[in-house]
Amino acid sequence: MSDFFLLNTDSQSQGRAGLLKTGHGEIETPTFMPVGTGGAVKGITPAQLKETGANVVLANTYHLMLRPGVEVVEALGGLHGLMSWDGPILTDSGGYQIFSLSRLAKIDDGGVEFASHIDGARIVLDAEKATRIQNRLGADIIMCLDQCTSFPVEAGELKTAVDRTIAWAKRCKTAHANGNQHLFAIVQGAIDLEMRTYCARELVKLDFDGYALGGLGLGEGHENMIRTVGHTTALLPQDKPRYLMGAGTPTDIIAAVRAGIDMFDCVLPTRNGRNAFAFTRTGPVRLRNNAHISSTEPIEAGCDCYCCRNFCRGSLRHFFNTSEMLGPILVSIHNLRFYQRLMTRIREKLKAGEFSAWADKIQHITP
């Protein structure tokens, strides 16, 4: 499949602007995918989400396979039907959630057995099943099952996880049976550059539609993450999209674009939004702060989001102070729009050949 097109590459970094075609529309890259874990971006309707500029959304296979289950999602018209989202969707494989949320019972080369974080039910997942489930959920981009390691990780354990990630990716590719979906492999290897090299090379031999970087943002720190990203993207084919899973802050995103990443997802805009933390060009605004009690200023002057066009900081502070749902909703909308404005600016700068100079400047003032 050749559905990814590079529009421009940055002469002074690994940054690139591109276009990824999917069955539900085109994605301009670099792109940021809001997280709709169980089929909904928390508190945000699809209409509001579209208004923030999002054009691709992430959902979690792990959550969806537990509730409502793949049969129900299919009955409701697939993930697009469940979510009422007609744009592109990406599902992760469940690998990360199994390691972070469930009680892991058993893992071997065959697959994983784990206890659901909801009711403790025993569930078995392997490469074939993870792929079939995603085939049936019907996202436009799906991920291979991988084994994520925690940070730090012992060398032997890391090697085993990387070998398994490679072997499972091969099995996922064989099992993949939905031609409307792009299948991405996940490069693991923690911050061990030799392991990243090994994993990337083996996966590239298998020829996937795109490549993700997993196992980062787990406590290794910004510098380690970006060094690992830059090392790894250099080993990946230019003509395939690269996706840094779970990242990140605006600073992380700018640095990772510079290091050659095309796609991002992160819960920060919505999770922080629910906690009264707003992103702005000049740094975070914490809306519970008493300083905002009588403020008629919007969260961010000049922001074109629904929240900033209609609500002042004083109102938002009041909504958080009185536990009104509208506080979390409005600040999530602002933060999602902030991220999309950032991505639009990044794409513009990449296309205009001005990215590196801009990134040098912006990184000192971006939260």
Decide: is 68 part of the binding site for a second copy (CB under 8 A): yes
Say if residue 101 is exposed, middle or buried (CB neighbours under 10 Å; 0-12, 13-18, 19+).
Answer: middle
**By CB under 8 A, is residue 94 in contact with a second copy?**
no
Q: Is 265 one of the annotated active-site residues of the chain?
A: yes
Assess 241 for contact with a second copy (CB under 8 A). no
11 vs 47, which CB is nearer to a second copy? 47
CA atoms within 13 A on the CB side of 44: 36
Of 251 and 321, which CB lies nearer to a second copy in the complex structure?
Answer: 321
Nearest distance from residue 195's CB to a second copy, in Å? 36
CB of 112 to a second copy, least distance (A): 22
Select 314 or 353, whichever has its Cβ closest to a second copy: 314
Q: Is 42 in the site for a second copy (CB under 8 A)?
A: yes
**Identity of the residue numbered 35:** V
Contacts of 108 (CB under 8 A, 6+ apart): none
Number of residues that bind a second copy (CB under 8 A): 42
Nearest to 96 by CA among 176, 151, 157, 20: 151
Query: Among 3, 86, 92, 207, which one carries the catalytic annotation?
Result: 92
Helix pair 355-362, 326-351: axis angle to 10 deg: 140
- Gap between the Cα atoms of 342 and 334, Å rounded: 12
For residue 78, state whether it binds a second copy (rule: CB under 8 A): no
Q: Where are the alpha helices (DSSP H) in the chain?
A: 46-51, 61-66, 70-75, 78-83, 95-100, 127-137, 155-175, 193-206, 222-233, 250-258, 268-274, 306-310, 313-321, 326-351, 355-362
Residue with tokens 């990337």: 200
C-beta closer to a second copy: residue 46 or 353: 46
Footprint of a second copy on residues 298-357 (CB under 8 A)? 306, 310-312, 314-315, 317-319, 321-322, 324-326, 328-330
d(CA 213, CA 229): 7
Q: Smaller CB distance to a second copy: residue 161 or 333?
A: 333
Residues 20-39 that bind a second copy (CB under 8 A): 38-39
Question: Does 186 interact with a second copy (rule: CB under 8 A)?
Answer: no
Which residues are near a second copy by CB under 8 A?
38-40, 42-48, 63, 67-68, 71-72, 75-77, 81-84, 293-294, 296, 306, 310-312, 314-315, 317-319, 321-322, 324-326, 328-330
Which positions are annotated as active-site residues?
A: 92, 265
